[in-house]
Amino acid sequence: MKKYLVAAVLIASFSAPVLAVETNFIMFDNTMNGCTIMTAEPTDKVRYKMMGKYNSKAEAETAMHAMKECG
């Protein structure tokens, strides 16, 4: 029984960081004429245009500064 408990704790500890990864989206807001970073893809496709999908906020910020539409 003890080995199953240890195995379960090890599996949970290794899988927790994988589940914590959050996808970041760069979205162009047509009403504000600017870009923003969102953690969820919006359903309003008329107002927002997707500019990219990134695995970290740092990647999204770097990419957003390089986009002339977001400038």
Give the pairing of strands 24-29 and 34-38: antiparallel
pLDDT string in tens for the chain (71-residue length): 777 666 665 566 666 555 556 899 999 998 888 999 999 988 888 999 999 999 989 999 999 999 988 87
pLDDT at 2: 75
- One-letter amino acid at 29 equals D
pLDDT computed for residue 53 by the predictor: 93
